[in-house]
Amino acid sequence: MTAPTAASPAPPFGHSRPSRLREAHAHLAALGREMAFVALDDASSGDDALQRLARHARETPDDWVIGVGARPEAWPERAWPPAAAFDAALGARPSIIRCFDHHALLANSAALARAHISARTPDPAGGVIARTPSGEPTGLLLEHAAHLVWSHVPEPDSDARRTHLRRAIAHLASLGFTEVHDLLSQPWLGPELARLHDAGELTLAVRLYPLAPDLPAVAASAPGWQRPGLSLAGAKIFADGTLNSRTAWMLHPYADPAPGLERGKPMMTPDDLRAAISRADALGLPIAAHAIGDAAVRAVLDAIEAVRPRARGARIEHAEIIDEADVPRFAALGVTCSVQPCHLLYDIEALTRALPHRLHRVLPLRDLLGAGLTPGQTLLFGSDVPIVRADPLDSIQAAVRRARSSGGPRIAPAQALSESEAWQCFVHSDGP
């Protein structure tokens, strides 16, 4: 879990924090697992990072030692630690350090050996194994090459999963949340949360959205694990990609598109979208559709309009860019808009470079309220933790000020909410 310092919220906000906060877009298992890794986001140098990993290795019997959130660019040496230093610090324990942006990792020799990566290993599609002049891997693995090592890190067992979930729940509760929506629920998540509930350890209400292909099996098992405050809520689908990779699907071309992807990349056809909505509806459940670009948002609204599902509660997740013409369709079709304004604090440079012509359509929260959405009921705030941190003040900052607390450009300031309206988007009325 990493947070650029630029995203740190600047009090003072006048409004006091309401009770009954809802985190409407989280990944509980990933958050808990991430919290079990060694946090390196505030490491002062590569040497400091290695010392932290070595300390963790001494304190924990686990096999792999994993550090996350590293920012070599911010270290005085502006470089990854040399392989010899990494090996000296961690010895025979396989160890990796992941870059904060998830696009690179450094593996020690033991980790490279576990993954069978040697001078003879070719670069995988979409990835690079960095090498010395003589061809030996340096330990730095870029993009898809990182999977070569990650795929050898063992999945947590049931005990470890519950430990991770306890940590994630305690963390969210400490921020004032009493309800959380999990937007990519693994089929094992409901049963594990039920065990925590039955042991009196589930202190939050949790609503689960498994991936659409998992929905039939999860729905069939739900009567066995649903509890008061723990329920299956819908099916997650992906209509497009992400802004940072320029795969969010846009109505207008990017200023700096990825090769061959002028307007990004739809992940589902209109037929796929309608079929997914119909299949979930047949089980009495709504969909929650990841749609970041304005074309993806429109495609999901079109599909909902065509299917007219009977299950209430269809949601669009992220909705970072929304065309004027589509704003009134949310309320008209009964679609909830689930946004994470905090991402604005991280994405300002990417938005300015990629979509200078569409900045006025970024998170049009004022328009959505004007078109009939209700804060906390049909306009929901969340964070997408652990992609970014879950502190609700980050989204309050973004929704109210439309800029970082450190200043800089304001994005679509006409779409700002009042502080009280912004907090209401975090508040739930029903619940445990």
For binding to Zn ion (CB under 5 A), which residues are involved?
183, 384
Query: CB 27 → Zn ion: shortest distance, Å?
Result: 6
CB closer to Zn ion out of 94 and 234: 234
Residue nearer to Zn ion on the CB measure, 139 or 241: 241
Q: If DSSP states are collapsed to H, E and C, what string results for the chain?
A: CCCCHHHCCCCCCCCCCCCCEEEEEECHHHHHHHHHCEECCCCCCHHHHHHHHHHHHHHCCCCCEEEEEECHHHCCCCCCCCHHHHHHHHCCCCEEEEECCCCEEEECHHHHHHCCCCCCCCCCCCEEEEECCCCCEEEEEEECHHHHHHCCCCCCCHHHHHHHHHHHHHHHHHCCEEEEEECCCCCCHHHHHHHHHHCCCCCCEEEECCEHHHHHHHHHHHHHHCECCEEECCEEEECCCCCCCCCCCCCCCCCCCECCECCCCCCCCHHHHHHHHHHHHHCCCCEEEEECCHHHHHHHHHHHHHHCCCCCCCEEEECCECCHHHHHHHHHHCCEEEECCCHHHHHHHHHHHHCCCCHHHECCHHHHHHCCCCECCCEEECCCECCCCCCHHHHHHHHHHCCECCECCCCCHHHCCCHHHHHHCCECCCCC
Q: 197 forms bridges with which residues in the sheet?
A: none
Nearer to Zn ion (CB atom), residue 54 or residue 208? 208
- Judged by beta carbon, residue 23 or residue 367, the one nearer Zn ion is 23
| Shortest reach from residue 26's CB to Zn ion, in Å | 8
Residue 386 Cβ vs Zn ion, minimum distance, rounded to whole Å = 9
Q: Of 347 and 384, which has the nearer Cβ to Zn ion?
A: 384
Orientation of helix 215-225 relative to helix 270-282, angle to 10°: 30
Q: How many CA atoms lie within 13 A of 336 on its CB side?
A: 24
Shortest spacing between CB 25 and Zn ion, in angstroms: 6
Task: Quote the crossing angle between the two packed helices 270-282 and 294-307, to the nearest 10°.
Answer: 50
| Cβ proximity to Zn ion, 192 vs 384, nearer residue | 384
Closer to Zn ion at the Cβ: 343 or 401? 343
Q: How far is the CB of 30 from Zn ion (least distance, A)?
A: 9
Of 179 and 384, nearer to Zn ion (C-beta) is 384
Minimum CB distance to Zn ion, residue 387 (Å): 6
Q: How far is the CB of 384 from Zn ion (least distance, A)?
A: 4
Query: Which residue, 277 or 387, has its beta carbon nearer to Zn ion?
Result: 387
In the complex, the smallest distance separating the C-beta of residue 138 from Zn ion, rounded to whole angstroms, is 32
Q: Are 107 and 136 in contact (CB under 8 A)?
A: no
Shortest distance, CB of residue 269 to Zn ion, whole angstroms? 22
CA distance 365 to 421: 10
CB of 346 to Zn ion, least distance (A): 14
Residue placing its CB nearer to Zn ion in the complex, 27 or 401: 27
Output the residue with the shortest Cβ distance to Zn ion: 384
Nearer to Zn ion, 30 or 96 (CB): 30
Nearest to 199, CA basis, from 242, 235, 232, 169: 169
Task: Report how far residue 115's alpha carbon sits from residue 358's, in angstroms, rounded to the nearest whole number.
Answer: 44
Task: Provide the sign of the torsion angle of the four alpha carbons 49, 51, 57, 60, taken in this order.
Answer: negative
Instruction: Tell me the closest approach of the beta carbon of residue 167 to Zn ion, in angstroms.
Output: 19
